[in-house]
Amino acid sequence: MDMDIVIEDDRWRAAGLEAAAERAVSATLAHLGVESPGELVLLACDDARIAELNETFRGKAAPTNVLSWPAAERAASEPGARPARPATREDLGDLAISFDTCRREAETGGLPLLQHATHLLVHGTLHLLGYDHENDADGDLMESVEVAILEGLGLPNPYDTDGGGPVSDGKD
């Protein structure tokens, strides 16, 4: 897979985001059996930049943790069904992740920064692959896939409210 990581906020570089992003995206693709995907672009930014993007693309003038822009519509036609895998060499799309929001959520949940960032990157990559949480059936599917991927990476269930950390706020 071709992953282009654009680091606008050097705190991400210092934190080691590049390796975490490669690991999170690779684990997501492997778990879903996606072979030889095309390009994925990751923008590692701060709250000011992600708030600007959030307002431009979603009409919400506030920072968020992760945003996703799929290169193609891949959602399943039935609620709770798995989306189709992308074709070989088909581009996946773009992600943006905010250092400030990610750090704040990690601190609130008592988590290491890169553990929470890994969860957000798995979550965002699933959005690029057609998963969403717009209804209960789709949300349950997406959550179960996220948990399985994170478990495979040796990370706890982020939706476990008994110590697993912050639950994604769904603002992606």
* SS3 assignment for the chain: CEEEEEECCHHHHHHCHHHHHHHHHHHHHHHHCCCCCCEEEEEEECHHHHHHHHHHHHCCCCCCCEEEEECCCCCCCCCCCCCCCCCCCCCCEEEEEEHHHHHHHHHHHCCCHHHHHHHHHHHHHHHHCCCCCCCHHHHHHHHHHHHHHHHHCCCCCCCCCCCCCCCCCCCC
What's the CA gap between 159 and 143, in Å, rounded?
8
Specify the CATH class of 2-152 in words: alpha beta
Q: What is the mean pLDDT of residues 136-147?
A: 98
Residue 119 annotated as binding?
no
Burial of 4 (0-12, 13-18, 19+ CB in 10 A): exposed
Q: What is the mean pLDDT of residues 27-32?
A: 97
- Quote the pTM value: 0.93
Percentage of residues of the chain with pLDDT beyond 90: 92
The confidence score (pLDDT) of residue 1 equals: 81
The confidence score (pLDDT) of residue 171 equals: 43
Residue 127 annotated as binding?
yes
Q: What is the mean pLDDT of residues 90-111?
A: 97
Tokens for 12, please give them: 């991400």
Q: Binning pLDDT at 50, 70 and 90, where does residue 161 land?
A: confident
Q: What length is written for the chain?
A: 172
Asked if the model's pLDDT at residue 168 lies above 70, the reply is: no
The mean of the pLDDT values for the chain is 94
Q: Where are the domains of the chain?
A: 2-152
Residue 31 annotated as binding?
no
What's the CA gap between 50 and 64, in Å, rounded?
7
Do residues 32 and 26 make contact, with C-beta atoms less than 8 angstroms apart? no
Q: For residue range 65-92, list pLDDT tens digits in order.
A: 999 999 999 999 999 999 999 999 999 9
The confidence score (pLDDT) of residue 162 equals: 65
The confidence score (pLDDT) of residue 167 equals: 46
Asked if the model's pLDDT at residue 40 lies above 90, the reply is: yes
The confidence score (pLDDT) of residue 47 equals: 98
The confidence score (pLDDT) of residue 16 equals: 98
Q: For residue range 106-133, list pLDDT tens digits in order.
A: 999 999 999 999 999 999 999 999 999 9
